[in-house]
Structure formats: structure tokens, C-alpha cells
Structure 1
Amino acid sequence: MTTDGGGWTLVASVHRGDERKCSSHDKWSSVQTCNYGWHYGSGYYYDYNGKGSSTWSNRLTMGSIETATDEDYKSSDYFREKASDVMLSHVPNDIDPSEFESQSFLRYHTTDGFLTNYGSSLENLYSHYVPLKSLGIVGLDETITKLAKTHVNITSVYPDWSNYWYNSDKTTTFLDYEGETLLEGNQVFFKVNDEPYTRMEYGKSYAGSLNSYHVSSTDTEHFMTLATISSTDGHPNKFSLKVASNISVGGSTENLYASSSHNGFYAEAHALHVYNDQNKPTVTFLFFFVSNYEKWDNWQGSINFPYNHDPTNHTYEYTVTGSMKNVMMGYMLITRNESYLSTNYNWRYQNGLHDVLEHILMLFGIFLTLDLTTTDIKSLHNIPQFAPAVKFVKGSISYPNHNVTSGYLQFRAYDSQGYAYALCPGIRLNEEAKPSQFCLGSPGKFHYWDYNHLHICGDFSAWETLDEHVTQDRSTDGNGRFVNDLHSTILIFTR
């Protein structure tokens, strides 16, 4: 390619043809290792986890220069060739390599040598600087952190609440009664997979890389710990909370269970209630789980609530394992006066726990009504855009009224749910723009049983939903037929 002094090397092509979407032809959005089975019986697996294809960052090759406009192409020069700039050229499908330059109807390239500072290859860029990993439930981590630290006081709900206090380093809780310490503990730990437990400091937040998990707790009464596990890239596949306490309340331990639903959310709770017959305060360790498939697109995995009948052992472990995604688990410490309970005996049993769970859902009311699928990721995660400017050599791009700016090449763009798209040709996305309509390399975030999400898979994702891609005639092919964006190939060059 002789554009602007030449020296350009064709390293890849992204082809859009008439074949069925999300098939083996969409190789930039497919992976060759996946635990969820074949897609359409093709030779490639499709990534149902929403983590984005590894094709952009690995060293696998595919196709050939001769068929680069008939199918997807990626050469070894994609990762071996040292380069400083990138050029994209849009051409009709099914043309000969000798026509790549003459048939180009859109061509633009960077001019600032940006790639020199980012590994000098596209493979290094996607491997180390703009990895295509999802961010989990967008907005959920921040919302939970705010909710956990609010001064909404569940103690006011119960006239029989018994106050407790924390030590100076905020790792231990004490419950006193008439000069006697009934509870010393409430030491909370969390564990990811089979790693060692981490002891939590009250009021402090802990997060995994790319928000694969987030756990936080309050440092005021009432005490609550909340954790979200996104696990959209398969990590973690096990998450545990542990609570350890020494209790001299004495008496017996009851295991209570309840469930409830509200506005599409489902909550399940298990409580361990420690009580006595001496009119002393009681202690309840309440563990709960919240899910919502419609809003969070979650898989709840296998829930293992603690279960105990030993009043001398009060170390409880609560674990979620297996195929989980976008789930929330929590723990609350409730201390109450037995004198009140003695006249309201039913609180010890299922109906009482169900009422407690209803109060939890009520306090979560504002949180539960958030539409997490439309939360703006840029304002929540403050992720800087990586979009070097480009010079147009042939043609121009314009999408009026669609919140995008022409004249850039954006590498990685997140949608409102935190899923990453690889490349946005010729533009930079502004707030509220949908990367599925403008960017290449979808995150593959659909399940084989969920046909409502088919429009957001494939190399060109949801391009067919934008009129400009369908109705705008860009060029004519060798047979005199008009070419739109859905019947063209994007050639990727570096130099």
C-alpha cells in the first residue's frame, strides 16, 4: 500500500458477509477454548462468558492474503512486525489483493506514531494496554459501597434492638449485657477460590482485578457485609465469606430459612439464631443472597449456606461456587433483647426471618430499582478512552445524531454493562453511544438459549440495527452492485 509514503503491511482483515451471524465465520469474536459447547456446530467455540475474544491478543493466525476479503485474516505480522502507526481501509468483499488500494472507499490512518509507546504491535496493545476483559456489573460495586456505608439504620425498625460496639481497629464486635460480654467476635473474612482468607476491616472495600469481585462492609450499626462477584471471565469460580465469634449467650442455636422476591429480584436467606432462656440478648447471624437474571444477566452458581446446631462453635462459612456471574451475597449481624422475643416467640421461626428479609429488601429499595443495564460506565469507572486521531486519505465517516465523533480510531470501548468491544473504526464514542453499532469484535455476551441477545454477537455485532450501515451506499463491487458497510471488509495495516 503506497498511502502517504507507503511502507504499510497488511496484518489483518475483518470480513462481513452474508453468512449467519455468530458462526465460525466470526473468528475475531470466537475463541478456541470454552466450557459451554459448540455454537451452530462450527469449528470454533463462541464465548458465552462475555469476556471478549482472545483473538485480538493472541498469536494464532487465520486465513490468507488471497482470501482476506472472503474471510477473516490475521497474519504473523500482526504480532511480529514492529510498527508505530495503524491504517484501516474499507473495501468491497470478494476482491483480489491487487485491487485492495484501487477499490478502497474509506481509508484513514494514525500519524503520531502512538504504537511505539504501546508495545509496537497490535498484539501487545491488546495484551497489555487495552485488554478486552469485562468490568462486571457496571454500577453495582459503587452502588453497594454507597449503600453499605449509608446511615440507613435498621436498628430503628426493631424496638428490641440491642446495641453492640467495635474495637479501635474495627475488626471485632462486642455485645455487653449487665457487665458481661456476650459476644466477642464478628470477625469477617473473605476468600477467593482456594486462596487464603483475608480478614476484613470494617468500612473498608476490597476488589479483585477488573472488579471480578468487590466486597465491603459498614463500620456503623447495623453491621452489614456485601459482596458482588462478576466472574464474567470465569474468575473467581468460588467465593466465600467467613464469620468467627466467641459467644457466651449460651442456650441453643436454631437454623432459620426464608426467601422473598421484589421487582424481579430474588432474595434467599439463612440465619443462625443463638438464644437462651435467661432473658439475655440474642444474636442472629443472617446470610443472604440476591439475584436478578433480567437486569444482571446472572447465574447464581451453587449456594452453600452455613448450618449449625453446636452452640459452642460459632465460625460460619458461606460459599458460592461453580458457574456464577453477576451475583450478590451478604451478611448482617442482628442482636435483640430476649425479653421482647419471649412475648413474640414466632420471631424465632420462618415467619420472623421472612419479615427480616422483607425489611432488608425494603432498605434496598432504591438500589433494587436501578437499571444497571443503562448505567453510564464512563462516569462510574472513570476509564480514559484510548482513541488516537486519524487522517482521512479517502472518503469520510459521519454518523449525525449518534453521539460519536469522526476522525479517531478507538481501541476498546465498553458498553453500559461493562463489556469490551475491540475496535471502533474511524470514530470515538461519546456518552450514550452504543459500541455494538459502531465497533468491531463483540464481547460474545449471549447464551445459547437466549435468542434476545443474538444481535450483540459477531464481529460486526449490531451494525445491522443502524440505518447508516444498511442504507448508505459506499461503493460498487465488480458486478456493479452497491456496497454498504454490511457487505464489505475492513483491512488493517501497520507500518
Structure 2
Amino acid sequence: MDEDFQARNENVQAIAYNSIRAACNQNEEIYFNEPRQENAGARQINAQPVQNKRRSQKFWKIFAIIIFAVIIAVGAVVIHYTVANKAAVDCTSTSSQNSGDKVTTTTTTTNTPTNTPTNTGTYGTLTNPALSCLDIKNTSGVTNDGYYFLQPSGTVVPFQAFCDMTTSGGGWTLVASVHENDINGKCTTGDMWFSNDLARYSLFSRNWENTNQFGKADKATSADYKNIGYSSIKAANIMLRHVPNKTPVDQSKSFASLQYHTSNNFLGEHGGNLFTTYTRHYPMNPKSTVVTFPSNVDKLVDDIAALSTNITSGIPDFYKYTYGSTTDRLQDGGNGTYTSYGMQIYFGFYCGYNIRYGSEYKCSSVQSLVISRKSHPFIAVIAIENPSLRTSSGQFQIRAYRPSTDSITSYNGKMTEGNFELQYRARCVYGRNVPSVCDVVLAVKNTKDWFSSSTFTLSESTSRNTDFYYYDVYINNYPRRIMVGYTMLSRTGGRLVTKVQMESALQKMLQPFKNYTWPAPCAFNHLVVPVTYTIGESTLSNFVPPSMHSATTTGFLQIRAESYDGTYYAMCPAVKLNNCDGQYICIGGVKNGYTQSNDCNDYTDWNGVTNSPDYHTSKTYAHSTTDIESTIMIFYR
């Protein structure tokens, strides 16, 4: 069809050129072959009429040439549009007969057409593009899914897009897709939504927030895709569809494992599309890494110390040991509690130090803070942030000088009040006519209000020698945002502190923890929008990793999420996030520009691996291979 048009056009041009050339040659012959006069006098007498004749002939010939050229040009334009319109109608007719077929041709970076339009009318064609798929549906009543030509307001070149005209009322425009090309790669060239391998997709040119375009409409399930409609179409709602990679786009609904859409017109309140939602309302600006420590921990410890009388009231004959003059140990305790060396407490969690009574210690690497008070009972509290899970475990080590002839009893257990849980391990030595000692290590978590990790555990070991012992209690499995502590209970006359007495004291110590407010680890000024599931709601629990069930709430789509360390994620599909572990459930990780390059990925840590290959969490944080090898398609309406 294009070759016929080109031939006709070249023929018209040739006719016009030859006509003009012939006219010009004729004019030259008239001008130069005037009859010559025989003498100068005759030439002088006839010079003026001849000259006027020449001018008149020249004028009319030139005028005729101009008119003829205009007629030829107008005719060429009419022929061009007649042939182009016939081509569009022919394409429409062919597509209507074969609506399930997809015809692809070469595409360019300006999103030129790649598929035969699926249209029963002329609206949404190359020569008559629509504003959006919803515009086509409302204007022409089209009900066929397929490819149509669009040209949103403010754009200059029509592009071809896939339209879903049947789901939940139809009119959905495919504007983008997110496809993970390498779950182990970080910001590789295939991570088009955020790649630092290409200059045009650099750190400060994040594609969730700009007008860059990449990919092809018919390849949207094989690679990342984004057309100009992402930033130019004015829409009200969004639909997400999860499909296996390389699924034919026009068959994507049939193979979708999960599909859901919003209905509250939230895009209309945020500029009409995701581009304006991010740039104007929820920017993904990278954050610098600023080390912060838990606040008001000193007040928490003071509040526990202030309960001293109440705590010990449930322990008959509580012995108020003496501290001595040395600050890094309980020097002797008095009345033979220890030998001359006394008792010393070591705490290690990435950083390690011997606790000095009444002093404060900080470890910036894991953002932990140690505070103690020389009260009765003695109390030491360590607030552990560990935002990047930089270390997996820590330990208390009590080194106490007492003879091996002491009797030993150990306790362990937990108690729960509201959202708080206190776990403990205890080792009591007693039986001689000297004060007994009960070393108690405790850990307090609140997964809802403090966003504590839920998987950490306590374990213990003991090493006993003739005149001293080591009692070690370990905090395992990546503790984060928890409080751990140590207290020493004692009774006169070598009497054993019973489990009931110990738990009574711990329950009273728990009350100040319940009054402690741990500031939110990451900002929560994000956009959470309710969604309606149309495919896959019954199997939604399979999409959310097991360890993320309590950290997420289904029935929502979250726009922007923040991690513990300042990394931003573009969105959390199908859920809202209740903590800051977005790397396991959200997409579009944008590193903070300083240290967290490992969060730079389309599907971040959906394989359950933390921000370093050397550190692995439980696979209960991982998505299935099916999820990782799926594409998330993004539609507007």
C-alpha cells in the first residue's frame, strides 16, 4: 500500500516538473527569438511596443506557472490523505476480523505503531488518535481489547498503546510495566526504572519521577516498559495486573495470577497520573544516611529504677548488695557475695564493652545504646535499632567469682501484656550462708508499636570453673528494634529466688517499657489507597511472604514506602506496609544515594536476601519463583 502511494506521488511530481520545465523553455524561446529589424531606425521606432509585449508575455507565463504549481501541490496533499485514510480503514477491517492476532513491526524510540489497531471505527487510529482508552470507549463505544493510537493533551506524536476495554467497565490504558530481569543484580542495565549503569537513568533521574520512555507495548511482559501516557494521560484510577513473564500482552488477563484496581479516583486528587503523584506529592528524594539512636532511653531506665521498692517487695529478704568503688564491676557485693574480683558484665552486639555502672555507651554501626543504673536491683538496658541487620546476634556475658560448690537453678520463659512480650533467661546460684545471686537477662519486643523483629530468640550457655563461672545469654536471628536488659536479684542467707518471685519482679519492670514510645523508624506520610481484587484474592496469602503477613495489610495499594535506612520504594503492590521491611514486598527500590545501593532494584529483595549477600534471612521472607518471574502491568483509567 505504501509503495503504491509512493509511486503515485513520484508520478505527480514528475508531471509537475516537466510542465514547469516546458513552460520555462517556451518562455526563453519567445524572449530570445524576436524578429530582428533591418536598421537601427526601425529598431528605435519599434523598441517600446516590443518591450511592452515582452513584459506582458513574461508576466502571464509566470502567473500561469505559479497557478499550475499550486494545483499540483494541492492535488498531492489530497492524494496523500486519501491513501492514508484508506490504509487505516483497511487495518481496522483486518483487525476486526482477526482480533486475537497480534501483528508487530519495527518500532522506534518515539513509540511509533507496532501492532495492527483493534478498532471498529476510525477513532483511535493513527490519523485520528484518542486522548486515552477511556476516551475511545466513551466516544466510540468500543468493547474490544487491543492496540489503539493515542495522543494525550500536551503531546505531539501519536503512539500505540494496549487498551483493556472489558475489565471492570473497561477503558484501561497500559502505561507501564515492571519486570525483574535479574533478582540478584542491583541497578543493572535491565532495571530501567532505576539504573545507575546508564547515564540517562542516573541516580538523580529516577524514572518513576520523569518523562523518560522505554520498552515496547507488545513487549511489556518481557522487559520494563513506560510510554508517554504515564506522565501525560489524566486519569482517576489505577489497575495492576501480575502475569508470567513473556505472556502475550493481549492475552495477559487470561494468564493473570493477581489483578486489582482502585475506585476512589485518587489520581485525580494528585495531578491525574503517577508522574505528578510522585513529583508533586510523594517525591522519592534520596536521603543521606544520618545515624540516630533511640531517644529517651535514659528516662525509661530511671523509671524502672524508681520502682525499686515495688520490684523487690515480692522477694522476701531481698539483699541490697554493695557496689564498691570500681565502676566496671560489682567489686565484692558485701557479705561474701563474691570473692575479691567481684562480678563483671560484658555486652557485645557488633560493638563490645564492659558495662560501667551508671554510664552510657553507643554503637553507631548498629545504632544501639546502653544505659545502666546502680539501683536495687541493678538494671542495665540496651536499646537495639540494627536497622540494616548489620549483625545477626549479640550476647550478654556475666563473669562472676563464686565457688563451684554453689547450687544452681535456671529459669526461662516469657510473659505477654497487650502488644508487649518479655522473654527471659535466668541462672541462680545459692545454698551457702552468703547472699544468693540470680542473673536475669530479658528482652522486650513490640512488633506493632515498636516495629520489632519477630524472629529473634534467646539461648544460653554456662562455663564453670573452680572459683568463677561464665554465664552467656545470646540474642539470635537478627534482632531489630528490641530492648534487652540485665538485672541482678539476690536474697540473704543463700536463699533461692524462686521463679514466681522472679516473674513478679519482671512483670513490674515491664510497666515502664509499656509506657515507652519508640519513634517510628521510617516516615509514614505515604499514600495508601484501597483496592478491589478482580483476580487472585483467594490466593493472596501466597503472594505475601510468610514472615511479612503480620507486617502487611491486604486490600490496599501503597504509593511510596520507606525503609529503616532511608531507602524509598515506589509502591507496595496489593498491600500496605505496617513496618519498614519494604524490600521484601515493595517494588522500585531507589537507593538513598550514599550507602544503600543494594536496594536499587526492580523487585529489591524478593528472594529473601538482605542487603548483603553475606547475610541471609529466613526464606520465609522470600517470594515464590512464580512471583519473581512475573511482570506487574500498570494501567490508568
> What TM-score, normalized to structure 1?
0.51
Q: Does 1:131 align with 2:289?
A: yes
Distance 2:439 2:303 in 1: 20
Q: 1:452 aligned to 552, 557, 567, which one?
A: 552
> Which SS does the other structure have where 2:375 is aligned?
coil
Counting only pairs closer than 5 Å after superposition, residues 396-475 of structure 1 correspond to structure 2 as 416=520, 418-419=521-522, 434-437=524-527, 447-450=547-550, 452-453=552-553, 455=556, 456=558, 459-461=570-572
Kept in 2, the 8 Å contact 1:148–1:217? The answer is: no
Q: 1:270 aligned to 416, 421, 425, which one?
A: 425
Give, in angstroms, the shift of residue 337 of structure 1: 0.4
Per the alignment, do residues 162 and 99 of structure 1 end up closer, same or farther by CA in structure 2, a change over 3 Å counting? Answer: closer
Distance 1:324 1:198 in 2: 19
Kept in 2, the 8 Å contact 1:173–1:187? The answer is: yes
Q: Does 1:367 align with 2:513?
A: yes
- Relative contact order higher in (CA < 8 Å, ≥ 6 apart): 1
Give, in angstroms, the shift of residue 222 of structure 1: 2.0
Kept in 2, the 8 Å contact 1:59–1:79? The answer is: no
Q: Does 1:306 align with 2:451?
A: no
Per the alignment, do residues 272 and 96 of structure 1 end up closer, same or farther by CA in structure 2, a change over 3 Å counting? Answer: closer
Residues 441-489 of structure 1: per-residue CA shift (max 9 Å, x gap) = xxx9994444734555651359999xxxxxxxxxxxxxxxxxxxx977x
Distance 1:202 1:257 in 2: 25
Q: Which has the larger radius of gyration?
A: 2
Q: Tell me what 2:78 maps to.
A: none
Per the alignment, do residues 355 and 258 of structure 1 end up closer, same or farther by CA in structure 2, a change over 3 Å counting? Answer: farther
Kept in 1, the 8 Å contact 2:439–2:489? The answer is: yes
Identity %: 12
Q: Tell me what 2:499 maps to.
A: 353
Q: 2:198 aligned to 61, 76, 81, which one?
A: 76
Give, in angstroms, the shift of residue 232 of structure 1: 3.7
Distance 1:180 1:63 in 2: 64
Per the alignment, do residues 449 and 181 of structure 1 end up closer, same or farther by CA in structure 2, a change over 3 Å counting? Answer: closer
> Which SS does the other structure have where 2:331 is aligned?
strand
Distance 1:337 1:168 in 2: 22
> What TM-score, normalized to structure 2?
0.41
> Which SS does the other structure have where 2:473 is aligned?
strand
Per the alignment, do residues 82 and 25 of structure 1 end up closer, same or farther by CA in structure 2, a change over 3 Å counting? Answer: closer
Per the alignment, do residues 208 and 271 of structure 1 end up closer, same or farther by CA in structure 2, a change over 3 Å counting? Answer: same
Give, in angstroms, the shift of residue 239 of structure 1: 0.7
Give, in angstroms, the shift of residue 250 of structure 1: 5.2
The structure whose residues are more often helix, as a share, is 2
Per the alignment, do residues 107 and 419 of structure 1 end up closer, same or farther by CA in structure 2, a change over 3 Å counting? Answer: closer
Give, in angstroms, the shift of residue 326 of structure 1: 3.0
Residues 411-432 of structure 1: per-residue CA shift (max 9 Å, x gap) = xxxxx2x126xxxxxxxxxxxx
The structure whose residues are more often strand, as a share, is 1
Q: 2:322 aligned to 161, 165, 169, which one?
A: 165
Q: 1:336 aligned to 491, 505, 509, which one?
A: 491
Give, in angstroms, the shift of residue 59 of structure 1: 5.8
Give, in angstroms, the shift of residue 325 of structure 1: 3.0
Residues 265-284 of structure 1: per-residue CA shift (max 9 Å, x gap) = 3333332222234x322122
Q: Tell me what 1:226 maps to.
A: 381
Q: RMSD across aligned C-alpha pairs, in angstroms?
A: 5.2
Distance 1:256 1:79 in 2: 58
> Which SS does the other structure have where 2:423 is aligned?
strand
Q: Which runs of 5+ in 1 are unaligned?
A: 1-16, 19-23, 28-41, 47-54, 65-70, 111-121, 342-346, 378-415, 421-433, 439-443, 466-485, 489-495
Q: Does 1:326 align with 2:481?
A: yes
Amino acid at match of 1:187: Q
Q: Does 1:317 align with 2:407?
A: no
Per the alignment, do residues 462 and 437 of structure 1 end up closer, same or farther by CA in structure 2, a change over 3 Å counting? Answer: farther
Residues 199-234 of structure 1: per-residue CA shift (max 9 Å, x gap) = 221122223327543332223332122223333422
Q: Which runs of 5+ in 2 are unaligned?
A: 1-162, 165-175, 218-224, 235-270, 529-543, 562-568, 577-633
Amino acid at match of 2:499: L
Q: Tell me what 1:191 maps to.
A: 348
Amino acid at match of 1:360: L
Q: 1:236 aligned to 388, 391, 402, which one?
A: 391
Give, in angstroms, the shift of residue 311 of structure 1: 6.5
> Which SS does the other structure have where 2:477 is aligned?
strand
> Which SS does the other structure have where 2:376 is aligned?
coil
Residues 46-67 of structure 1: per-residue CA shift (max 9 Å, x gap) = 9xxxxxxxx9xx7645566xxx
How many residues get paired?
Answer: 330
Amino acid at match of 1:460: M
Distance 1:178 1:241 in 2: 26
Amino acid at match of 1:172: R
Give, in angstroms, the shift of residue 160 of structure 1: 1.0
